[in-house]
Structure 1
Amino acid sequence: MQIYHVVLLVLALLLILLAVRMPVALALGLSGGIGLVLLRGFDYGTNTLASVPFTSSASFTLTIIPMFILMGMFAVRANVAVNVFTVANHFVRRAPGGLGVATVMACAGFSAVSGSSIGTAATMSKLAVGQMRRSGFPASLATGIVAIAGTLGVMIPPSTFLVLYAVLSSQSVARVLAAGIIPGLLAAAGYIAYIMIVGQRMIRRELARTSGGTGDLSAAVEDAQAELRARTGGGTSIASLPWRGLVHVAILFLIVMGGMYSGVFTSTEGAAVGALAGLVILVVENRREGLAHIYRAFRDSLLDTAQTTSMVFFIVIGSGILSAFLVTAGVTNTVTEWVTGLPMPPMLTMALLLICLVPLGMFLESMSILILSVPILVPIATELGFDTIWLGIMIVKLIEIGMVTPPVGIITFVIAGTADVRSETVFRGVLPLVVMDLLTTTVLFLFPQITLFLPSLVRT
C-alpha cells in the first residue's frame, strides 16, 4: 500500500470515529496506531504505542495545566463570578444593554482566573441569562451573549488551550499566555459595542412585543436590578458592593501573570502559587459556612480538577500517537514543501490556511482541531516567516469561533442545557456576535504587532 493511501485511510478513519462520537483521545490514538502498523509493521507500531504515552505526557511544562484548572475550580466555589458580575452590573446598569455588558465584563474577569470557556459559560448562564430575560432581552440575544463571552476563557490567560499550544509548538508558555490578553480584551470590546448599538434595539422591540407595544424599558431594568441585588446580596451603594470579587481576580491574575512578567516566578511556579492563593480565597469566602462546607468545596474542586486533567492528558497522549504517524509518513514535511511552493504571497497563503479552521470547527471538537493543526501550521508559518506566537493566537481565536458555530458548537449546547432553551435559539443569537469576532480576527491578522506587544515585555 502506498504511503498516501495509508494517510488518506487514517484521516478517513479519524473523521469517521469522530463522527460516531468516539472520545477524541481514543479516535486520535486508534487511527494513529493503525496508521503506524500499516506503515512500518506490527512490531514498530506496538513499540511506538508503548513509548509515546510516556514521551508525550512526561513534560514538566504540562504541570501548569492541572494547577490552572485547580485554581479555576477554587475560584468557582469562592463565588468569584457572582461577585464580579454584581460589581460590573452596578456600573453599567444604565448603559444600553447594561446587563449584557456586565455579563461580558464578568466573563472577561472570570476568564482571567478560570481558564475554562465551558466553565465560564456554564457559570454565567446560570447567573445572567434569567436576569437578562427579565430585563427584556430576547432569549436568543441573552443566550448568545453568554455563549460568545464564554469563549474568552480560551484566550484570556490562564488558558489550557494556550498552554497546550505553547507545549506543542515549543514556545515560551509565559509569552504565549501574555499574547492572549490584548486579543481577549479586543474581542470583549467588540461584543460590548454590538450589545450597546444593536442589542439595545432588539431589547426595545422585545419589550414592545411582550407588553403589547407599551413596554417600559427602564421599569423592566429596575425590576431585574432589584431581583439581582436580592439574589447576590449587593446593595445600591458603592460601599455595599462585593468588591472582594475584583480583589480576588486581581490577586490571582497578578500572581500568575505579574510573577511571570517580573521574572519572580516561572510559568509553572506561578500556576502553583496561583492555585494555593485560590485555596486561600476559597477558605476565606466560605469561612462562615463552617469547616464541613469548606471541606466539601475543597473535595469537589479536587475531583473536578482530576476529571478535567485526565481528559486533557488523555487527548495529549492520543495526539502524540497521531503526530508520530504523521511524522513517520512524512506528512508535515510534504505539506510544508507544497504550501510554501505555491505561487501566492505569504500573507494570502497563511490567511487561506487559517480560514480552513472555521469549517473544521463546525464539525470537529475544538481541542482536536488545535492538536491536529499545530504540527502542520507551525512549520509552514516558520518557513513563510511568520511569528509562531502570533500564529498560536490566530489558531486559538478561530477555535473560539468554532466553539459557538453550528452544528457542533459545544458551548452553545452547554448554554442551551443550563438555560433550558433550544440550541437553535442560542445559535441564532450568537451568529451576529461571531461576525464581530471575525472582524477582530481580521484586525489581529493584519496587525500582528497588537498581539506581540505584551509578549515582548515578558522576561523568560
Structure 2
Amino acid sequence: MIIDTSLIIVIVLAALFILLALETPVAFALGLSGALGLVLLHNFGYATNVLGSVPFTASSSFTLTMIPMFILMGTLAVKARIAEHVFAIANRVFRKLPGGLGCATVMACAGFAAVSGSSVATAATMSQMAVGEMRKYGYPAHFATGIVAVAGTLGVMIPPSIMLVLYAVLSSESPAAVLAAGIVPGLLSALAYIIYIMVVARRVIVQSTSTLESALEDAALGADTMRVEVAGSGATAVQTKTRLAPALPPLSSLPWRGLVRIGVLFLIVMGGLYTGFVTPTESAAIGALAALAIMVIELRRDGFAKMRSTAVSALKESAVSTTTVFAIVVGSMVLSTFFVASRVPHRLTEWVTSLDVPGWMIVAILLLLLIPMGMALESISILVICVPLMHPIVTGLGFDGVWFAILVVKLIEVGLVTPPVGVSCFVVAGTTGVPVQTVFRGILPLVLVELGVVVMLFIWPDLVLFLPSLVVQ
C-alpha cells in the first residue's frame, strides 16, 4: 500500500511530539521518528542504510570540533572560580544602585556567559551564589529567581555559544560570523534587564519585604543606633549601639583577576576570529588550553591532588555534555534526511513564496511560531527541527541568514524560560529550593523585556550585522 507523502509527514511529526511528550531522550526521539518516516517513504532497507551512514557523516564535520572545545573551556572556567570572582566585583560596583544586587547578577551572568557558552551552566552557577544574597537584602523570591533565570539565558547568545555553533553547522553559515553577531544582541539584552531591574526594584523590594523597611528605618535613626528586641515581649526599642552592618570591601581587595581572565579568554576566541589569525576551531582549542592554564594557576595553592581531581571532574563533565550534544546532532540528521527525501523544505519554500504578503511578514510569522514551540519543546529540539526548514525559506526571500540566526536563537532564549518546559527556570528552582511556579511568576515581565529586544533587532538588522561584517572569514 502506497501512503501519501503528506500523510507520512504528519505521522512522523506526530510520532516526534508523542516521543518528546513521553520524555524520550531528544536524540532518540529525533532518530526514531526520522527512521519511521524513511521506512514509510521508501522501505526498511533504505532506512537501515541511512541509520548506518548518518552517525559518521553527521559527526565527522570538522566544524563540530568547536563544540567539545567550547564545552571544555566553560567547564574549566567554572572550576577556576571565575563566576565567583565576577559576581564579587559586580556586587561591589552595583550595590549602591536601585536593585544593585540584581544588576550585579545580570552583569556576572553576562561575564560568565562569555566563557561558559551554556545557559544551563550559567543559571545553575549563578543561582547558587546570587539568589541567597538577594533574598538576604529583601528581594522577593520571585524577583530574585526570575532575574537569575532570565540572565542565565545570555549563555546562548554571548559567544562562545553552543547554540550559535549548532545553528551555523545546521545552516552552513559561517561560525565566525554567527558568533560575532551574538555579541551586540547579548549586551543589549543585559542592558534591557538592568534598566528594568532599576526601574521596578525599589518598589518591588519595599512593598514585598519588611526586612528592607526595617533596615531603612534603622538607617534613619543614625549610624550609631539600632533596633533591639525586648526579651520575651516581641516589642522593639531603640538602643544606642554601633550597628554591625557589613562594610563594603575596598576596590583594591576585589578579585580583579577573574575579570582579567574573562577578558583573556574572550580575546583569544573572538580576537582570533576577527583577525583571521586562527580558524574558529583553533580559537576554541586555544581557549580551552588557556582555561586549563587559568584553572591550574587558581588552584595551585590547593595542592596537586586537588588540581588533578578538579581537572578529571572537568573532563568527565565535558565528555557527558559533548556526548549529549553529538547524539542530538546525529538524531537530527536522521530526521533532516527524511525531510529532504520527502521534499518538505522545497514544498514549504514554494508555498511561502506564493503567498501574496511582504517578505518581512513571512519572516515574522516564522519567528512567532517559535514561541509556542518553546512552551512545549526543549531548545535544541527546536533548533534542529526548525533550522533546516526555516533557514532556506528566509534566505530564499533575500534576508540575511546570520541576522535570522540571531533572531531564532533569541526566541529560543525565550523558550528557555517559558512554561511549561522552561529549562532554566527548573534549574534555578532545583538549585535554590524555590517552587518553580514562583520562578515562572518572576520571569514573565522579563520575557516581555526580551521580546522588546527581539523587535529592535528585527527592525534594525544593522545591530546584528555590524560586527560580522568586520570578521575576516
The correspondence of residues 368-383 of structure 1 with structure 2, limited to 5 A, is: 368-383=381-396
Paired position in structure 1 for 2:45: 43
Match of 2:319 among 306, 324, 344: 306
Kindly provide the amino acid, as one letter, of the partner of residue 316 in structure 1: V
Q: Distance in 1 between matches of 2:344 and 2:204?
A: 49
Q: CA deviation at 1:38?
A: 0.7
Match of 2:356 in 1: 343
Identical columns (%): 57
Q: Given the alignment of the two structures, is residue 115 of structure 1 paired with residue 117 of structure 2, yes or no? A: yes
Alpha-carbon separation, structure 2, partners of 1:144 and 1:32: 37
Aligned to 1:204: 206
Per-residue deviation, 1:214? 4.2
Is 1:169 aligned with 2:171? yes
Choose the corresponding residue for 2:402, options 389, 392, 397.
Answer: 389
Partners of 1:261 and 1:283 in 2: CA distance: 28
* Mapped partners of 1:260, 1:380: distance in 2: 28
Q: Give distance in 1, aligned partners of 2:205 and 2:396.
A: 49
Distance 2:379 2:345 in 1: 21
Aligned residue in 1 for 2:190: 188
TM-score between the two structures when normalised by the length of structure 2: 0.93
Q: Structure 2 vs 1, CA of residues 69 and 228 (structure 1 numbering), >3 Å: closer, same or farther?
A: farther
- Match in the other structure for 2:56: 54
Deviations 1:8-30 (A, max 9, x none): 00000000000010000000000
Instruction: For residue 215 of structure 1, report the CA deviation from its aligned partner.
Output: 4.9
CA distance in 1, matches of 2:396, 2:471: 25
Gap regions ≥5 residues in structure 1: 230-234
Query: Does the C-alpha gap of structure 1 residues 37 and 301 become closer, same or farther in structure 2, counting only changes over 3 Å?
Result: same
Aligned equivalents of 2:270 and 2:82: distance in 1? Answer: 18
The one of 160, 163, 168 equivalent to 2:162 is 160
Equivalent residue number for residue 181 of structure 2 = 179
Shift of 1:340: 1.3
User: Any conservation in 2 of the 1:131–1:228 contact (CA below 8 Å)?
Assistant: no
Answer whether contact 1:100 1:145 (CA < 8 A) is retained. yes
Residue type of the partner of 2:183?
I
Correspondence for 1:5: 7
Paired position in structure 1 for 2:21: 19
Residue 244 (structure 1) aligns with: 257
- 1:216 maps to what in 2? 216
Of 282, 292, 308, which residue of structure 1 is paired with 2:305? Answer: 292
Cα displacement string for residues 64-118 of structure 1 (whole angstroms, at most 9, x for unaligned residues): 0000000001000000000001111111110000000000000000000000000
Among 3, 8, 32, the residue aligned to 1:30? 32
Structure 2 partner of 1:415: 428
User: Shift of the alpha carbon at 1:216?
Assistant: 2.1
Structure 2 distance, partners of 1:69, 1:423, is 27
Structure 2 counterpart SS, 1:343: coil
Structure 2 Cα separation of the partners of residues 139 and 340 of structure 1: 48
Specify which of 69, 88, 93 is matched with residue 67 of structure 1: 69
Deviation at residue 265 of structure 1 after TM alignment: 1.2
**What does the per-residue CA deviation read over 1:421-441, in whole Å, with 9 as the maximum and x for residues that have no partner?**
100000000100000000000
Residue 158 of structure 2 aligns to a residue whose secondary structure is coil
Deviations for 1:213-248, whole angstroms, at most 9, x for unmatched residues? 6452896xx9xxx9998xxxxx71111110000000
Distance 1:161 1:214 in 2: 45
State the TM-score, normalizing by the size of structure 1. Answer: 0.96
For the pair 1:322 / 2:324, whether they are aligned, the reply is: no
Q: Across the two proteins, how many residue pairs are aligned to each other?
A: 450
- Give the Cα separation in 2 of the matches to 1:200 and 1:401: 26
1:216 is paired with a residue whose SS is helix
Distance 1:88 1:214 in 2: 25
Distance 1:331 1:217 in 2: 66
Structure 2 spans left out of the alignment, 5+ residues: 224-243
Shift of 1:200: 2.2
* 1:105 paired residue number: 107
Distance 2:246 2:263 in 1: 24
Counterpart of 2:209 in 1: which secondary structure? helix
TM-superposed CA distance for 1:43, in Å, is 1.0
Where does structure 1 differ by over 6 angstroms across 4 or more consecutive aligned residues? 226-229
CA gap 1:362/1:244 in 2 versus in 1, 3 angstroms: same
Deviation at 1:207, TM superposition (A): 2.7
Shift of 1:54: 0.9
User: Radius of gyration: which is bigger?
Assistant: 2
Q: What is residue 140 of structure 2 aligned with on the other side?
A: 138
After superposition, the C-alpha distances for 1:259-287 in whole angstroms (9 at most, x for unaligned) are 11011111000000000000000000001
Give the Cα–Cα distance (whole angstroms) in 2 for the partners of residues 280 and 376 of structure 1: 42
- Corresponding letter in the other structure for 2:23: R
| Alpha-carbon distance in 2 for matches of 1:329, 1:264 | 42
Distance 1:102 1:117 in 2: 17
User: Is the 8 Å Cα contact of residues 96 and 200 (structure 1) preserved in structure 2?
Assistant: yes
Equivalent residue number for residue 233 of structure 2: none
